Structure 1
Amino acid sequence: MDATQLLLTRQSTPRLIAPAPNAEQLTLLLDSAARVPDHGALTPWEFIIAIDEGLAKLANIFVDAAKKKGADDAFLAKVGNMPYRAPMVITVVAKTQAHNNVPALEQHIAAGCATMAMQQAAFSIGLGAVWRTGDFAFDANVHQQLGLSAQDQIVGFLYVGTPAVTAPTKPLKNGRQFARYL
């Protein structure tokens, strides 16, 4: 798949099954993430990979956070299954640093670009991925259990695996409708 086709056909792959990316494929995803625009070369990101037992750990973190908010049993069961939507979940964290020329917003955007680069790299090699956020990305208990600092922010959970079905390509949106000239 060439780069133009990859960009114009990008869409989430919500139904993912095993196998997860192998070591070589994961390296490609991570190396792609490390190539995104990064003003000041701060590398303001961390990638926390959950696979196998890691998925169970992530499920326990989500369940514990939901319990602390008083969730009912039905919701706890749903939350406990969330990490198993794919054989690998990469939690992408913006690791901002105080910098005179690079505001925190730029660092968050860089971490977001890293997430998109990993998703696109996955698609380029026949894998599927879906980028999710949700309440747990902003939950203090989740942050604590993942060992994040106060200034860190989860920008998303990238679910990665093998597509369970071939989804029809969504129609191309006309990008010009969102543009204007000065």
Structure 2
Amino acid sequence: MEFLEIIRSRRSSGLVTDEPVSKEMLEKVLEAGTWAPNHHKTEPWKYFVLTGDSRNRLGEVLAKISEQNMEDPSSESNQKKIMKAKENSLRAPVIIVAAVEPSNHEKVIVQEEFGAVYASIQNMLLAAHALGLGGIWRTGQSSYDPLMRELFGLSEQGEVLGFLYLGHPRREVPAGKRKSIEEVTRWLTKESDFENL
């Protein structure tokens, strides 16, 4: 597949089969992540690949995080929400948890460390798509909860930045749509162009 077509045709899709994904494919996805740009060559990313029963541990923590934010976790509706949060970890045969561990080097700007991991996540999503895998990047408040940092042994500065749910797609995803570049781009060729922004 031609590269620009890979970018245009990639879609987030959580509809994947239970069929295992080969370690070889996952290693290609992970390696793509490590080639993201990062200032000062800090390589601030950490990846955790969850398969099999290890996903249950993530589910338990997701449930606990969901429960701690409820006034009455024992209510029937909240019990359903807690169970749903727990089952989220089983929606795909593979979960790559992408985290940042910012460098403490004096020249490093912390936001740029986060940016590098976000770029890394995009690389992995594109690589997964190029390999014929389906995937979706999930985040949310639970990603940034201290319990998640604890689960993956991250430092106080570390942060989980997302869960990449990957698997073999159940079906083709529909074509996407984006705004035209004319709608989102301003071409500035002279100083006076700034006056019309």
- Residue from 67, 74, 80 that aligns with 1:74: 80
Structure with higher Rg: it is 2
Q: Which position in structure 2 is the counterpart of 1:168?
A: 174
Separation in structure 1 between the aligned mates of residue 115 and residue 2 of structure 2, nearest angstrom: 25
Q: 1:89-168, aligned counterparts within 5 Å?
A: 89-168=95-174
Aligned-partner residue type, residue 152 of structure 2: L
Query: What count of residue pairs does the alignment treat as equivalent?
Result: 182
Secondary structure, aligned partner of 2:142: helix
Aligned-partner residue type, residue 31 of structure 2: D
**Superposed CA offset, 1:53-91 (max 9, x none):** 111111111112223333421111110111111111111
Aligned-partner residue type, residue 18 of structure 1: D
Structure 1 length normalisation: TM-score?
0.94
Structure 2, unaligned runs of 5 or more: 189-197
Q: Which position in structure 2 is the counterpart of 1:17?
A: 17
171-180 vs 88-97, which moves further: 171-180
Structure 1, unaligned runs of 5 or more: none
Q: Which position in structure 1 is the counterpart of 2:32?
A: 32
Aligned-partner residue type, residue 166 of structure 1: E
Aligned-partner residue type, residue 89 of structure 2: P
Measure how far apart 1:106 and its partner are.
0.7
Percent identity among equivalent residues? 25
Separation in structure 2 between the aligned mates of residue 41 and residue 21 of structure 1, nearest angstrom: 30
RMSD: 1.4
Is this contact kept in 1: 2:11–2:173, CA < 8 A? Answer: no
Structure 2 length normalisation: TM-score?
0.87
Separation in structure 2 between the aligned mates of residue 19 and residue 106 of structure 1, nearest angstrom: 36
